[in-house]
A and B are shown apart, each in its own frame.
Chain A
Amino acid sequence: MKVRRWSKEAPWHILLILTAVLSLLPFIWMLATAFKPEPEIFAGGLNPLPAVPTLANFRFVMERVPLFRYFANTLLAAVLITGLKMVTSILAAYGFTRFRFRGREFIFYLCLVSIFVPVQVTMLPNYLLISHLGWLNSFAGLVIPQLADAMGIFLLRQSIRTVPVSLFEAARIDGAGHLAVLRRVLLPAIKPAVVALAILFFINAWNEYYWPLLVLNDKSMYTLPLALQMFTNQEGGTAWGVMMAAASLTALPPLVVYLLTQRYVVDSFINSGLKG
């Protein structure tokens, strides 16, 4: 029996392991390159391991740019965007599921359609708006246009709809107002979905490149993805070791966030798969 199960499952496991290795490869490559001295990067063939590991690249990054400043900028922006975007998404999703009003479905689908509009289309009008408001090169200009997200509203609405209506009704009979229902009953019930969405929002906000590039001029306000770009040098050739060291440092925080919360992410995928 056991052998038979093995022979049945082994191909799948091998496939999954291969996929995992493939998706890990760029990450490992980046990390390994960050520890290689410059001449070794292109000399070592495809061997990812550095022959003589060095911290020189990291030291260089720390010395050349105010990395902690960028780190703080990015963290502040990402945390604010994630937090506020969660608030707007949760409130909107709650409204779209729990309130009955004329035109509700129409407004919801209108909101949903905005997912299909490419960022490049809205980028310019947004830029002009921000510029008229005098928010160019400001934190407000960086953060405020990113505070609502149709995708978040859609995903949360889906998970709110899986919560039995009687739960809301029981809470209302218990005398809870809408905010109390939201906080004490609904959010705990859909916690995995909320956490998973927050992680997604955080990673997106952390990695956001184009919008900060448009809005921010002042180098002291740069976020990490913008700072990374400073290490690519079209004329003199890019210092790849340094670049990868900076990239590794940039990728670290989202990774840590994910590792700390992956239980919820996996939970929410399992739930959506089995109970959907």
Chain B
Amino acid sequence: MTVIAESIQFEAVTKNYGRVTALREFNLEVAAGERMVLLGPSGCGKTTALRLVAGLEEAGRGKIYFGDRSVNDLPPGERGVAMVFQNYALYPHMTVAENMAFGLKMRRVPPDQIKARIDRAASMLGLEELLLRRPRELSGGQRQRAALGRAIVKEAPFFLLDEPLSNLDAQLRARARAELVSLHRQIGSTMLYVTHDQVEAMTVGQRIAVIAGGELQQVDTPERIYHRPMNAFVARFIGNPPMNLMPVKVAGNRLRMGGVSLQLPAVWAAWLAERPQGEITLGIRPEDLVLRAEAGPAGCSFPVRLTWQEDLGAEAVFYLQAAGELELVVRGRPGGVNTGDTLWVEINWERVHFFDGPGRSLGRPQALDRNDRSGAGGA
């Protein structure tokens, strides 16, 4: 079953709740049939954006388009959206089959078609055995699938999901992510998926829209969101443990952070010389720092003290302190070091990021992207 998907477009949408601004001048285009994830911390406005698409909230200013029609004045029932709620919102007094049939009955779909659609959705989701049960007789995972089933029988062009996996345990969640992606491939609707979980965003989204404080921070593919964050917020929000961000001072080919002075590679030194001087921040992911037992060539590494380590089996997370109250997190192979040891850290300069005072990315030298291995392309 493939539905005719359409694009969704937010055009300068602002939504206030009393004095609180949930979304400010929000612009976003979701392509027809795309899987777009809205990602951000709680209260950032991502759910508001989803509810605006569903028609459960009215935009204060701005327009929302499905294809090329403005839907601002269309009630939820006429928008052609199917939605999965965080708490599933299954009708408690109806069986799974009745839950699935309800929206179709409201639309006066003929009974034989309703039955056919329910059977098809049930077999896609493995719900056949559960059709006659009521929601309270289902486990969490079964309820989640019943809610998905209720959404997909509508064969709606828009498929909205509001944190649909947050009530599942970790193992079930990993499986459900994969199932959701394959489900979307089968139905082909335009999918808008709200989550605060970056792993979900990275695995489910074809593109991710990172939102904070009611404003869009960046829209991009998961790789580019991870490897080319456009600002310090995105850089810190994506990745676990988060990116190390340190205020630095650059003078010629020397870089100073905390009490550490390092030699800048020539390509960065030349590039930074052309940027506006002043307060800048260096960002580097924990896996792009290399921990060594001994010092490297002078000016390339700096000494740190291991304050804490978490051994996760396949890898370990090291919490380090350097001169000048500088704190760092490094990811590496576990074993061989003890808390309190003095170690040396080397920076993988191909992977560093620089942000200006307000936190905007300064970009990177083009010369570096020629041998880039991240697959994320140029900035």
Contacts and interface: CB of A to CB of B under 8 A. Distances in A.
B226 to A, nearest CB: 32
Contacts of A184: 102
B87 A166 contact: yes
Contacts of B93: 188-189, 191
A191 B92 CA distance: 12
Contacts of B150: 170
Given A180-B106, A188-B93, A189-B93, A173 B87 contact: no
Contacts of B81: 173
A164 B106 contact: no
A80 B50 CA distance: 45
A118 interface: no
B52 interface: no
B89 A169 contact: yes
B89 A172 contact: no
Interface stretch (B6-14, B70-78, B125-133, B331-339): B70-78
B54 interface: yes
B368 to A, nearest CB: 48
Contact of A173 (B86, B91, B92, B103): B103
B85 interface: yes
Contacts of B90: 170
The residue among A169, A172, A175 with the most chain B CB atoms within 10 A of its own CB is A175
A173 B77 contact: yes
Nearest to A170: B89
B150 to A, nearest CB: 8
The dominant DSSP class at the A interface is helix
The dominant DSSP class at the B interface is loop
B102 A167 contact: no
B75 A166 contact: no
Nearest to A177: B77
Contact of A164 (B56, B83, B89): B89
B194 to A, nearest CB: 14
A174 interface: yes
Contacts of B86: 166
A173 B162 CA distance: 14
B82 interface: yes
A185 interface: yes
The residue among A173, A180, A185 with the most chain B CB atoms within 10 A of its own CB is A173
Interface string A153-177: 0000000000010110111111111
A252 to B, nearest CB: 33
A169 B87 CA distance: 12
Nearest to B86: A166
Contact of A167 (B54, B79, B89, B107): B89
Nearest to A175: B77
Contacts of B103: 173-175
A172 B51 CA distance: 12
Given A169-B56, A170-B83, A184-B102, A175 B107 contact: yes
A226 B252 CA distance: 104
Given A173-B54, A173-B82, A175-B103, A166 B77 contact: no
A164 B82 CA distance: 18
A165 B92 CA distance: 13
A169 to B, nearest CB: 5
Nearest to B154: A174
Contacts of A169: 54, 56, 76, 83, 85, 89
B136 to A, nearest CB: 12
A189 B92 contact: yes
A166 B92 contact: no
Interface in A183-204: 184-185, 188-189, 191
Contacts of B77: 172-177
B78 A173 contact: no
A130 to B, nearest CB: 41
A169 B81 CA distance: 12
Interface string A105-131: 000000000000000000000000000
Contact of A172 (B56, B91, B92): B56
Contact of B89 (A166, A177, A188): A166
A167 to B, nearest CB: 5
Given A166-B85, A166-B87, A173 B76 contact: yes
A176 B106 contact: yes
A105 B91 CA distance: 28
Contacts of A166: 85-87, 89
Given A175-B103, A175-B107, A170 B85 contact: yes
A48 B76 CA distance: 66
A5 to B, nearest CB: 30
Contacts of B87: 164, 166
A23 B56 CA distance: 51
Nearest to B91: A185
Contacts of A171: 91, 102
A119 B81 CA distance: 51
Interface in B85-137: 85-87, 89-93, 102-103, 106-107
Nearest to B51: A169
Interface string B149-193: 010000000000000000000000000000000000000000000
Contacts of A191: 93
Interface in A44-87: none
B96 to A, nearest CB: 14
A185 B89 CA distance: 11
25 contacts: A164-B87, A166-B89, A167-B91, A169-B85, A170-B89, A170-B91, A170-B150, A172-B55, A172-B75, A173-B54, A173-B55, A173-B56, A173-B76, A173-B79, A173-B82, A173-B103, A174-B77, A174-B102, A174-B106, A175-B106, A176-B77, A184-B102, A188-B91, A188-B92, A189-B91
Q: Closest 10 A-B residue pairs measured CB to CB?
A: A175-B77, A174-B103, A166-B89, A188-B93, A175-B106, A170-B89, A166-B85, A172-B76, A173-B76, A176-B106
